[in-house]
Amino acid sequence: MAGNKAVTYIGPGKVEVRSIGFPELVLRDGPGVHPANVGRKCEHGVILKVVATNICGSDQHMVRGRTTAPPGLVLGHEITGEVIEVGRDVEFVKPGDLCSVPFNIACGRCRMCKEGHTGVCLNVNPDRPGSAYGYVDMGGWVGGQAEYAMVPYADWNLLTFPDRDQAMEKILDLTMLSDIFPTGYHGAVTAGVTSGSTVYVAGAGPVGLAAAHSAQFLGASVVIVGDMNQARLAQARSFGCETVDLTQDATLPDQIEQILGEPEVDAAVDAVGFEARGHGAGAGEAPATVLNSIMEITRAAGKLGIPGLYVTGDPGAVDEAAKQGSLSIRIGLGWARSQTFTTGQCPVMRYHRSLMTAILHDRVQIAKAVNATAIPLDDAPQGYADFDEGVARKFVLNPHGLLPT
């Protein structure tokens, strides 16, 4: 039987590539596995040979020690792979299929799944609605930053690419379908972006860049990206975005007015989440900053898309309230302006098929927008370190050497 190397969380600031067991069609006990999920049989699942698996900003929250993730947790929820084994109950997915795996694990049977809310499936996580691979408090499903991975409910979850050769030519784009492209697109859609919209995206990390590119795809007239990282702002400008430097003393409304002639936008996206920093030179962490600022600069009756991650437990937070996920949000401002907020995990299956088609027909260039960079699986610890330093890249792990470098 083949071995299986995987990226494992060791403790704050440290990951290692370790050998773990080859996946089976059952959820075994291990770090982070909910007791009620131990021994769960998955004859509806498949085993994948992982072709591409990405480092995500959400993973960085755990690696920084900003969640309750246990040591030994296998990381990774952005998975693209080839089916090499199918369970007894799988009908439509076949060995040899090249597939994208939504980061949401969903059963396809519960009320939420049937209504299209696959980010809050009721049957895969005994703790709460919603689940994901390799993530804290998400049921304990083993992460996919590995050579091989198990995917449950395969007929429901997997998106099979129609032509393998065509898919491999665009694999750095297609690997973004597992999370950040649909997540960024969801942020733009829920912010109400449409033809001619003016849009502000908070955060120029990979999800923010994906949201910005999605807004362009949806027909926005101007997309403005705000960040404190000069390299990431330059990356946003590389595909036609306007940018604002949040280390400057000028207020965000003033900087937007300099671009648009007015201090507000039609739609705004929070692609930062709970580790947000205050604006201005030398500003420290202030987790409600982005939420409050996008309320301030979004027009009356505008919409706010919030794909940025917020948590219920943050041991490294700046105050006791924030450690419980309680932030000082100016909800009165949003109410007075009749604004609409959309939060939560992106329901990837709502979007990934149409976004796949857009990639295959050259309507979008998401890998270019996020500066996708393939690295060997063994280099994952350095990739995490570089990403944490703020490099303007989206690292794609290459477990079997199948990706272009």
H/E/C letters for each residue in 134-202?
CCCCCCCCCCCCECEEEECCHHHHCEECCCHHHHHHCHHHHHHHHCHHHHHHHHHHHCCCCCCCEEEEE
| Residue 313 scores a pLDDT above 90 | no
Query: Which residue, 210, 224, 282, 288, is CA-closest to 252?
Result: 224
| Residue 216 scores a pLDDT above 90 | yes
User: Region 112-131: what's the mean pLDDT?
Assistant: 97
User: Region 274-289: what's the mean pLDDT?
Assistant: 89
Q: Could you tell me where the DSSP H helices lie in 196-298?
A: 206-217, 230-237, 252-260, 289-297
Q: What is the pLDDT of residue 402?
A: 97
Instruction: Dump pLDDT digits (tens) for 350-391.
Output: 999 999 999 999 999 999 999 999 999 999 999 999 999 999
Q: What is the pLDDT of residue 138?
A: 95
d(CA 11, CA 286): 24
Tally Cβ neighbours within 10 Å of residue 156: 19
User: Region 314-318: what's the mean pLDDT?
Assistant: 90
Q: What is the pLDDT of residue 122?
A: 98
Sorting pLDDT into bands at 50, 70 and 90, what band is 3?
Answer: confident
Q: What is the pLDDT of residue 369?
A: 98
| Residue 283 scores a pLDDT above 90 | no
| Residue 115 scores a pLDDT above 90 | yes
User: Region 276-284: what's the mean pLDDT?
Assistant: 87
Question: Residue 111 corresponds to which tokens in the numbers above?
Answer: 């009320």
Say yes or no: do domains 5-179+347-398 and 180-342 share a fold. Answer: no
Q: What is the pLDDT of residue 98?
A: 98
Q: What is the pLDDT of residue 2?
A: 67
User: Would you kindly state where each structural domain of the chain is located, as residue ranges?
Assistant: 5-179+347-398, 180-342
User: Region 108-122: what's the mean pLDDT?
Assistant: 98
DSSP secondary-structure letter at 20?
Answer: -
User: Region 18-33: what's the mean pLDDT?
Assistant: 96
| Residue 1 scores a pLDDT above 60 | no
| Residue 139 scores a pLDDT above 80 | yes
CATH number of the domain at 180-342, please? 3.40.50.720
Q: What's CA 254's distance to the chain center, in Å?
A: 30
User: Region 302-308: what's the mean pLDDT?
Assistant: 97
Instruction: Dump pLDDT digits (tens) for 29-82.
Output: 999 999 999 999 999 999 999 999 999 999 999 999 999 999 999 999 999 999
Instruction: Dump pLDDT digits (tens) for 173-200.
Output: 999 999 999 999 999 999 999 999 999 9
Give the CATH H-level superfamily of domain 5-179+347-398: Medium-chain alcohol dehydrogenases, catalytic domain (3.90.180.10)
